[in-house]
A and B are shown apart, each in its own frame.
Chain A
Amino acid sequence: MADLEERVQRLEAIEGIRRLKIRYAQLCDANYDPPGLTALFTEDAVWDGGDLGRYEGHDQIRGFWEGASKSFTFALHYMIGHTIDVDPPFTSGTGHWYIWEPATVNGRAVFLGATYDDVYQKVGGEWRFKQVNANLHFFTPYEDGWVKTPMMPMD
C-alpha cells in the first residue's frame, strides 16, 4: 500500500477535481458565463462535443460558450455517477461523468442526456480541464422524448 502522504494526496486530488466539475456545472447554469467557464480550462485545452463541435484553446472555447449563452436560456446540469482516476505525482487525472440536463433552447424545453470523458491537469495549484469529450446520447424536445426524436437540431 502507498504511504500515507500519497494516499491523502490521491483523495485530495479526487475532491479537487470533483469541485472543478461542479463549478463547471454551476457556471453553465449561470447562462454559460463565458469568461468564468474559459478560466476553468488550460490554455491549450480541447472541448470536443462530437456533433456539437470541437473547440481548441481559450479563444475558441470562449466563443463556444458565448454561442451557448444565446441559445440556452435556461439549464440545470446534473452531474452524477462519476469516477475519477489520479496517479502520482497527482498533477493530472481522468474522469467519467453522466449528465442529465433539462434546458430551454431557443424557447423549447429539452432534455439532454450525455456522458463526459475528461482529462484534468493541475496548473498553479488549481485543477483545470485539459480535455472535455462530451458524448451526446439524446437531445430531445420535452414533448417528444428520446424514442420519438433522439436528436433535435441545435438551431
Chain B
Amino acid sequence: MSIEDRIRTLEEIEAVRRVLAAVGATCDAPYDGAAFAGHFTEDGVMDLMEMGVYTGRAAIQEFIDGMRARVPFTMHYWDGYAIDVDGAEATATWYGFETPNLNGTAHLGGLTHDATLKKIEGCWMVTRLGQQLHFMTPYDKGWVRQRVTDQTA
C-alpha cells in the first residue's frame, strides 16, 4: 500500500469516529432528529432490536424527535471504537453508557453498537446503525434486580 493510501486510511478512521460522535451527540437531550437522521443515507436503517427497526431518514427523524416526550433527559457516553475502512465503505463497533430519565426515574444503560457507513460525495453516511441493549436499569435497582425497563411505553 502506498504511503498516500496508508495516510488516507488513518484519516478516514478518524473521520468515521467524528461522524459517530456527532450521531451520539444529536441523540442526547434535547434531541435533534433532523441532524441525527442527516447522518444516514436516504435509505439508512436504524435497528434498535426490541425498540424497533426504522428505515429511511423520515422514520429515523420521527423516532428521535419522539424521544423528547418519552425520555426527557439522557446522555450518550460513546467510546471504545473499532473502525475498519475499506475504500468508500466502513464498519464500526463501539460501547455506549447512557443516563436517561425514564418514567421520572434515573436509569443507567449499558449498550454496544455497530454500524456500516458509505462515503458519498466526500461525507461518511451511516447505512445501518444497530444496538445491543445489555441493561437499562433503574438507578436504585441495578441490572441483577431489574435488567431492562421498557423504553417504548
The chain A residue with its CB closest to the CB of B94 is A22
**CB of A124 closer than 8 Å to a CB of B:** no
Measured CB to CB, the residues of B under 8 A from A are 3, 6-7, 10, 13, 77, 79-82, 93, 95, 97, 108, 110, 112, 134-135, 142-145
Q: In the bound complex, what is the Cα–Cα distance between A74 and B144 (angstroms)?
A: 10
Interface string of A7-34 (1 = CB under 8 A from B): 0100110010001001101100100000
Would B10 and A100 count as touching, CB distance under 8 A? no
Check A8/B97 contact, CB under 8 A, given A79-B80, A109-B145.
Answer: no
Would A104 and B143 count as touching, CB distance under 8 A? yes
Q: Which residue of A8, A80, A108 contacts B7 across the interface (Cβ within 8 Å)?
A: A8
The chain A residue with its CB closest to the CB of B108 is A102
Would B6 and A74 count as touching, CB distance under 8 A? no
Q: Which residue of B81, B93, B97, B144 contacts A100 across the interface (Cβ within 8 Å)?
A: B97
Residues 77 to 95 of chain A near chain B (Cβ within 8 Å):
77-80
The size class of the interface chain A forms with chain B is 20 to 34
Q: In the bound complex, what is the Cα–Cα distance between A115 and B89 (angstroms)?
A: 34
**CB of A2 closer than 8 Å to a CB of B:** no
A3 to chain B, nearest CB (A): 10
In the complex, chain B residues whose CB is within 8 Å of the CB of A107:
144
Q: Which residue of A4, A79, A143 contacts B142 across the interface (Cβ within 8 Å)?
A: A143
**CB of A5 closer than 8 Å to a CB of B:** yes
Instruction: List the 10 shortest-distance A-B pairs measured between CB atoms, nearest first.
Output: A109-B142, A142-B142, A109-B144, A22-B82, A80-B79, A76-B110, A79-B80, A11-B10, A78-B95, A8-B6
Check A79/B79 contact, CB under 8 A, given A12-B10, A15-B10, A102-B110.
Answer: yes
In the complex, chain A residues whose CB is within 8 Å of the CB of B95:
25, 76-79
A-B contact pairs, 7 of them (CB 8 A): A12-B6, A22-B80, A76-B95, A76-B110, A78-B95, A80-B80, A109-B145
Q: Which residue of B3, B82, B110 contacts A23 across the interface (Cβ within 8 Å)?
A: B82
Check A104/B144 contact, CB under 8 A, given A8-B10, A76-B134.
Answer: yes
In the complex, chain B residues whose CB is within 8 Å of the CB of A142:
142-144
Would A102 and B143 count as touching, CB distance under 8 A? yes
Would B82 and A74 count as touching, CB distance under 8 A? no
In the complex, chain B residues whose CB is within 8 Å of the CB of A11:
10
Would B3 and A5 count as touching, CB distance under 8 A? yes
